[in-house]
C-alpha cells in the first residue's frame, strides 16, 4: 500500500539538523592586574570527532554590547572606547588547524601599561572558523576579557538617556523602555530596572522590575530595559511612570519620570486559557476576559488534546498581505499539529483601536490566521455583529490569529475543507509512519 503524506505535515516533522559548534574552555577572563603587570589566559579550542578538518582563527577585537546587553565584538576601526584592552593583548597563535576530535591550546597574554589609570579595561577574543577552510561549524565564540586595574577606585555611574512608553494599544501590553548608558569606568552585573506606574491621584497602579541582568554593562555602552507592567483595565486619564536603574547593592544609579495620557480606556491583553478536547464531546475555549472564544463541535479531534488560547504580541505579526492592514487585536491558538476534522467557530470582540484603523467602518474588519506552511495570511469570510462588536468565522486551522482591515474586494477567500478524520493525524503519528517505512527498507 502506498502512503501519501501531505507536504505540510512532512515539513512539520523535519527539524533543523543540529549545528556543529566550536568548543572552547577558558571562555572568559575576569581578573585584576596591577599597572605595568601581566597575566595570561589559556583557552583550549576543539571540534567534535565527527567534524571535518577545520582551520580556526583567533583575533583580539573591541568589546561591544547590543541594546539587550549581549556582548559583541568590534572591529578595530569601531573600537573607540578609552577603556579598551584590545591593544594590551597578544596571542601565541592566530590560526590553528584542528583534525576531527582534536583540541589545541591558545594563550593570550595581557599586559597593562604603567600609566593605565583606574577602573576596568575590556576586549573580546573572537574564535571562529576560517571561511572555506572546512565546514565544521556555523557558530563562533566570543571570549570576554574584563580586567580590573588593581589599586584603583572604580567609578560606577550611569544615566537614563530616554524613558519611552510608546503607543498604548488596547489588548496589547504596555511596554516601558528605559535607555541607559554606563558613564563610569567600570562594569557592573545584576543591574535591575524598577518601574512604577501611578495614576493622577498618586496611587500606585503597578510596580514591576526586570530580573537582575546576567550580562555586565560595560563602560560607554548604551542598553535598554523593557518592562511590561501588570495592570488591569485603566480608565482614560494621565499616568506617571518612574524608572530606576539599581545596582545589586541597592544603590540607585539614576531615575527618570515621564507621563502619558490615555484618551480612552485601556484593556490589557488576555491571559492564557486552555481546554481538553475529546472526540465524543463539543467544547468551548474562552479567554478569561471573554474577548475571544473558539467553539469546537463534537468530532473536531480524533483523540484527547489540550488546546491553548494565549496572547500574542502584535510586534511579532507578519506583515499584512497587499491591500490589507493589521489591526491591533491578535492571539494564538495552539495544541494541534494538524488540522481539525470539523470546523470550529471563532468569535472575537474587536477593539476601538481596530475600528479606528478601519476609519470607523466595521465592515472592513476581517478575521485572519497565519498559514505557516504557505507563509501567508488567510483572510476568512467574517460575520459582523456591530451591536456587540463581534466578528465570527469558521476554521479548521489553529494558528496565530489577527484582525485585518480589508475591503471586500481585497479579501482572500478561504477554502478550508475539513480533512476526513483518518487523515487528521498528529506529528507523532506521521513520525511513526515514516519510521516504519525506513525500518522496512533496511535503512
Can you give the pLDDT at residue 181?
98
Q: Which H helix or E strand runs over 7?
A: helix 7-13
Residues 139, 194, single domain; the answer is no
pLDDT, mean of residues 308-330: 91
pLDDT, mean of residues 281-304: 92
**CA of residue 24 relative to chain centroid, distance:** 26
- Domain span at residue 27 reads 23-149
pLDDT, mean of residues 19-27: 78
Can you give the pLDDT at residue 426?
40
Higher pLDDT, 55 or 83: 83
Least confident stretch, 29-43, 91-105, 238-252, 412-426: 412-426
1 within some domain:
no
Taking CA atoms, 87 is separated from 79, 148, 258, 325, in Å, by: 10, 16, 42, 52
Residue 20 has pLDDT above 70, yes or no: no
How far apart, in whole angstroms, are the C-alpha atoms of residue 88 and residue 39? 11
3 within some domain:
no
8 within some domain:
no
Residue 11, Cβ density class (10 Å: 0-12 exposed, 13-18 middle, ≥19 buried): exposed
pLDDT, mean of residues 200-220: 96
Residue 414 has pLDDT above 90, yes or no: no
Residues 198, 316, single domain; the answer is no
Can you give the pLDDT at residue 71?
96
Residues 282, 420, single domain; the answer is yes
Q: What is the pLDDT of residues 372-403, one digit of tens each?
A: 989 999 999 999 998 889 999 999 998 999 99
Would you place residue 182 in the very low, low, confident or very high pLDDT band (cuts 50, 70, 90)?
very high
Can you give the pLDDT at residue 138?
53
CATH code: domain of residue 178: 2.60.40.2550
Total number of domains constituting the chain: 3
How far apart, in whole angstroms, are the C-alpha atoms of residue 354 and residue 169? 10
358 within some domain:
yes
Residue 439 has pLDDT above 50, yes or no: no
Cβ(73)–Cβ(61) under 8 Å? yes
Q: Is 354 helix (H, G, I), strand (E, B) or coil?
A: helix
CATH code: domain of residue 352: 2.60.220.30
Can you give the pLDDT at residue 54?
86
Higher pLDDT, 16 or 381: 381
CATH code: domain of residue 58: 2.60.40.10
Residues 207, 281, single domain; the answer is no
Can you give the pLDDT at residue 275?
93
Bridge partners of residue 72, in order along the sequence: 64
pTM summary value: 0.72
109 within some domain:
yes
Residues 207, 342, single domain; the answer is no
Residues 313, 369, single domain; the answer is yes
Can you give the pLDDT at residue 155?
95
Q: What is the pLDDT of residues 62-88, one digit of tens each?
A: 999 999 999 999 999 999 999 999 999
Residue 64, Cβ density class (10 Å: 0-12 exposed, 13-18 middle, ≥19 buried): buried
Residues 304, 327, single domain; the answer is yes
Q: Is 269 helix (H, G, I), strand (E, B) or coil?
A: coil
Closest Cα to residue 169, out of 382, 313, 318, 287?
Answer: 313
Residues 117, 231, single domain; the answer is no
How far apart, in whole angstroms, are the C-alpha atoms of residue 9 and residue 322? 27
- Which of 97, 126, 149 terminates a domain? The answer is 149
How far apart, in whole angstroms, are the C-alpha atoms of residue 86 and residue 146? 11
Residue 428 has pLDDT above 90, yes or no: no
Can you give the pLDDT at residue 134?
52
Residue 295 has pLDDT above 70, yes or no: yes
Would you place residue 133 in the very low, low, confident or very high pLDDT band (cuts 50, 70, 90)?
low
Percent of the chain with pLDDT over 90: 68
Would you place residue 132 in the very low, low, confident or very high pLDDT band (cuts 50, 70, 90)?
low
35 within some domain:
yes
Closest Cα to residue 197, out of 161, 163, 236, 229?
Answer: 229
Can you give the pLDDT at residue 82?
95
Q: What is the pLDDT of residues 354-378, one digit of tens each?
A: 998 999 999 999 999 999 989 999 9
pLDDT, mean of residues 315-323: 91
Beta-strand relationship, 120-129 and 141-149: antiparallel
139 within some domain:
yes
- Which of 228, 262, 296 terminates a domain? The answer is 262
Cβ(301)–Cβ(277) under 8 Å? yes
Higher pLDDT, 39 or 314: 39
List phi, psi (to 5°) of 368. Answer: -145, 150
Residues 316, 239, single domain; the answer is no
- Which of 262, 288, 323 terminates a domain? The answer is 262
178 within some domain:
yes
Q: Is 76 helix (H, G, I), strand (E, B) or coil?
A: helix
Residues 139, 226, single domain; the answer is no
* Count of other CB atoms within 10 angstroms of residue 208: 15
Residues 138, 29, single domain; the answer is yes
Can you give the pLDDT at residue 11?
34
Closest Cα to residue 79, out of 59, 93, 95, 94?
Answer: 59
Residues 242, 387, single domain; the answer is no
Amino acid at each position: 500500500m502506498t502512503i501519501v503524506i501531505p507536504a505540510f505535515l512532512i515539513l512539520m516533522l523535519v527539524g533543523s539538523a543540529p549545528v556543529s559548534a566550536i568548543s572552547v574552555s577558558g571562555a572568559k577572563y575576569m581578573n585584576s592586574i596591577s599597572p605595568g603587570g601581566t597575566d595570561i589566559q589559556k583557552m583550549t579550542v576543539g571540534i567534535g570527532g565527527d567534524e571535518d578538518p577545520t582551520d580556526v582563527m583567533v583575533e583580539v577585537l573591541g568589546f561591544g554590547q547590543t541594546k539587550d546587553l549581549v556582548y559583541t565584538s568590534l572591529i578595530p576601526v569601531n573600537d573607540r572606547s578609552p577603556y579598551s584592552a584590545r591593544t594590551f593583548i597578544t596571542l601565541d597563535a592566530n590560526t590553528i588547524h584542528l583534525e576531527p576530535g582534536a583540541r589545541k591550546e591558545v594563550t593570550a597574554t595581557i599586559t597593562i601599561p604603567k600609566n593605565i589609570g583606574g577602573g576596568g579595561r575590556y576586549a573580546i577574543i573572537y574564535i571562529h572558523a576560517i571561511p572555506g577552510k572546512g565546514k565544521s561549524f556555523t557558530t563562533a565564540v566570543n571570549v570576554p576579557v574584563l580586567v580590573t586595574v588593581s589599586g584603583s577606585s572604580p567609578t560606577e555611574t550611569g544615566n537614563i538617556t530616554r524613558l519611552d512608553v510608546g503607543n498604548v494599544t488596547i489588548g496589547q501590553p504596555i511596554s516601558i523602555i528605559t535607555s541607559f548608558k554606563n558613564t563610569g569606568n567600570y562594569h557592573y552585573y545584576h543591574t535591575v530596572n524598577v518601574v512604577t506606574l501611578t495614576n493622577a491621584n498618586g496611587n500606585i497602579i503597578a510596580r514591576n522590575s526586570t530580573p537582575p541582568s546576567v550580562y555586565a554593562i560595560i563602560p560607554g555602552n548604551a542598553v535598554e530595559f523593557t518592562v511590561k507592567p501588570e495592570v488591569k483595565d485603566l480608565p482614560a486619564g494621565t499616568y506617571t511612570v518612574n524608572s530606576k536603574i539599581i545596582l545589586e547593592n541597592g544603590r540607585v544609579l539614576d531615575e527618570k519620570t515621564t507621563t502619558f495620557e490615555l484618551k480612552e480606556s485601556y484593556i490589557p491583553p488576555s491571559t492564557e486559557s486552555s481546554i481538553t478536547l475529546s472526540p465524543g464531546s463539543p467544547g468551548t475555549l474562552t479567554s478569561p476576559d471573554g474577548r475571544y472564544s473558539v467553539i469546537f463541535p463534537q468530532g473536531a479531534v480524533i483523540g484527547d488534546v489540550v488546546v491553548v488560547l494565549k496572547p500574542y504580541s502584535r510586534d511579532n505579526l507578519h506583515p499584512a498581505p497587499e491591500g490589507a492592514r493589521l489591526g491591533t487585536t491578535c492571539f494564538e491558538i495552539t495544541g494541534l499539529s494538524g488540522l481539525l476534522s470539523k470546523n470550529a467557530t471563532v468569535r472575537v470582540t474587536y477593539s476601538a483601536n481596530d475600528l479606528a484603523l478601519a476609519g470607523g467602518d466595521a465592515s472592513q474588519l476581517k478575521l485572519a490566521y497565519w498559514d505557516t506552511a504557505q507563509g501567508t495570511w488567510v483572510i476568512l469570510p467574517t460575520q459582523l455583529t456591530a451591536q456587540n462588536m463581534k466578528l465570527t468565522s469558521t476554521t479548521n486551522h489553529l494558528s496565530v490569529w489577527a484582525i485585518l482591515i480589508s475591503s471586500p474586494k481585497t479579501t482572500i477567500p478561504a477554502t478550508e475543507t475539513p480533512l476526513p478524520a483518518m487523515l487528521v493525524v498528529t506529528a507523532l503519528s506521521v513520525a511513526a509512519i515514516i519510521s516504519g517505512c525506513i525500518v522496512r527498507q533496511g535503512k
